Amino acid sequence: MYIPTPTNNDHLLHEYLELNLKQLHEELGYSPDLISRQFQAALANGRIVQGATVYMDGLSSSSMMLQFLFAGNHENDPSTTSAELLDYYQERVIPEGSVHKLASFDELYDMLLTGNSILLLDGCNYALAVGTKELKARSVEEPNVQSVVRGPREGFTEVLGWNTAMIRRKINSRHLWFETLKLGSVTQTKVAIIYIDNLVSESVLELVRERLRKINIDGILESNYIEEQIQDKIYTPFPTIFNSERPDVVAAGLLEGRVAIMVDGTPFALLVPALFTQFFQSSEDYYERADFSTLIRLLRFFSFILATITPSFYIAITTFHQEMLPTTLLYNLAAQREGVPFPAFVEALIMEITFEILREASVRMPKTIGQSISIVGTLVVGQAAVEAGLVSAAMVIVVSITAISNFVLPAFNLGIAARIIRFLLMILAASFGLYGVFIGVIAIIFHLCSLTSFGVSYMAPLAPFNLSDQKDTLFRVPFTSMMTRPKSLNPKRLVRQKKP
């Protein structure tokens, strides 16, 4: 068959089937997962037309495409040209809503590489994209990171469509709006902006759109690729964007007037604006009684303080301020440290680094032996270090309390911030004692107050102080008293519920 020379408009589909197939295979590098199957179709005037179906193996269902073409009703087909036949396929044969008309190779690649099958006919300079996606993905499972005792057991998956459907099932409202865009010049990753139209602040929503539009990167493989490029401040240990793999957490954030950002290929969704107190809240707080939830939340704040300053306080007191300890306790600590050759700072540094190594080893090791490594490693190494005279027993207790307190925090990225700050405060304690610790704490508070998340003060409603928003910060009051949404988020509708 004669194949003409390509024209300058190579981005447009050609009229000749063989030329289209040739360019398609060439530009995809003759990839073995690109499957093309040719067939013949008869027109009403008796002429035979060559056609082809093209799909990506593993992304599309070829049997579904064949069912559309050869199991449909062709008895009253009046087509006398290839274009008329393709239109007949679109209007009568292929189910409505699963077919799109394509005129260029750019459109064709976009549909082909997202799981659609392409229908081409000789003598027609456009094609049809048929929805034959065959998703092979992890099913909906219980989240591994943000687990709860009471509450829903479903978590997001790596499929964006499934995740948005779970949000839609939680919030059955016509005001729940989705905006989709593609980021990554190479990966063309689908990203969804989710918000409730009559609740979200317009300034926050526009800021999200603006920052997403400015992203210019070749690939988006996980939501953190976006998180690092849209956050207000880069050089801070504290997370200013909240992430979650739980649909109920994202739905609750949307109901407060926040904006969710979901990325295809990852189960973690982003929520903005994010406040410092939000990282101490768990979805389980709202599934238990208010008094019990308040107690647990206060425990988390106390654990954060312990995880941050406990080693530095021990170093400062044992090194510079021994007079603050009771005499009996001071004698016991002195007896324990009698055979330890290192100062308290080096002793704490050895134990903290050892525990960090054990923590990372337990994460990277296979699950069957990971827990054994963490438990046995901590016990054996700690006991052996004490018996060898490298560290004191009191230091093992301090590091253990610090590590356990770190695990109480419901947000993993806030735990990372506590670990970073802990080492900085240890250096200040070894250099200046409690004065250095207090200076470090004051500097951290000033830094927290300077942070913002999409135009909202990071420390709100504590700084600036807002009395009405204190109902869900350090304490969690009963639902009957939570009449309004957080004022700091500036929602369109402040009232959440009316008094009975």
Are residues 217 and 319 both part of a single domain? no
Q: Quick one: tokens of 61?
A: 């269902």
Are residues 304 and 417 both part of a single domain? yes
Are residues 255 and 123 both part of a single domain? no
- What pLDDT was estimated at residue 2? 34
- What pLDDT was estimated at residue 3? 39
pLDDT (tens digit per residue) in 103-129: 899 889 888 888 888 889 998 888 988
Q: Does residue 360 fall inside a structural domain?
A: yes
Closest by alpha carbon to 238, among 424, 402, 429?
424
Are residues 76 and 106 both part of a single domain? yes
* Buried b or exposed e, range 345-354, using 16+ CB within 10 angstroms: bebbbbbbeb
Q: Does residue 499 fall inside a structural domain?
A: no
Q: Which of 248, 274, 300 corresponds to the end of one domain?
A: 274
Strand partners, 100: 129
pTM confidence score: 0.84
| CA distance linking residue 390 with residue 346, whole number of Å | 10
| CA distance linking residue 280 with residue 294, whole number of Å | 11
Q: Quick one: tokens of 299?
A: 């425990």
Are residues 184 and 121 both part of a single domain? no
CA atoms within 13 A on the CB side of 445: 10
Are residues 35 and 120 both part of a single domain? yes
Are residues 179 and 241 both part of a single domain? yes
- What pLDDT was estimated at residue 4? 40
Q: Does residue 402 fall inside a structural domain?
A: yes
- Supply the range of the domain harboring residue 34: 17-130
Q: Does residue 256 fall inside a structural domain?
A: yes
Are residues 218 and 77 both part of a single domain? no
Q: Does residue 280 fall inside a structural domain?
A: no
Q: List the alpha helices (DSSP H) in 231-366.
A: 247-255, 290-319, 327-336, 344-364
Are residues 448 and 309 both part of a single domain? yes
Three-state DSSP class for residue 148: coil
Are residues 266 and 300 both part of a single domain? no
If 0-12 CB within 10 Å is exposed, 13-18 middle and 19+ buried, where does residue 228 land? Answer: exposed
Q: Does residue 383 fall inside a structural domain?
A: yes
Total domains in the chain come to: 3
Strand partners, 242: 271
- What pLDDT was estimated at residue 44? 77
Per-residue pLDDT tens digits of the chain, which is 500 residues long: 333 444 445 588 988 899 999 999 998 888 888 888 888 887 777 788 888 888 888 787 766 666 666 655 555 667 778 888 888 888 877 775 678 889 899 889 888 888 888 889 998 888 988 887 777 777 888 887 888 888 888 999 988 888 999 999 999 989 999 999 999 988 889 999 999 999 999 999 999 999 999 999 999 999 999 999 999 998 899 999 999 999 999 999 999 999 999 999 899 999 999 999 999 999 989 999 999 999 999 999 999 999 999 999 999 998 888 888 888 877 777 777 777 788 889 888 988 888 888 788 777 776 656 555 665 566 667 777 777 777 888 888 888 899 889 889 999 899 999 999 999 999 999 999 999 999 999 999 999 999 999 999 999 999 888 888 888 899 999 988 888 899 989 898 888 887 76
Q: Does residue 153 fall inside a structural domain?
A: no
Q: Does residue 427 fall inside a structural domain?
A: yes
**Residue 276 per-residue DSSP state:** G
Q: Which of 274, 303, 318 corresponds to the end of one domain?
A: 274
Contact present, 196 and 171 (Cβ < 8 Å) = yes
Are residues 35 and 114 both part of a single domain? yes
- What pLDDT was estimated at residue 7? 44
Are residues 203 and 345 both part of a single domain? no
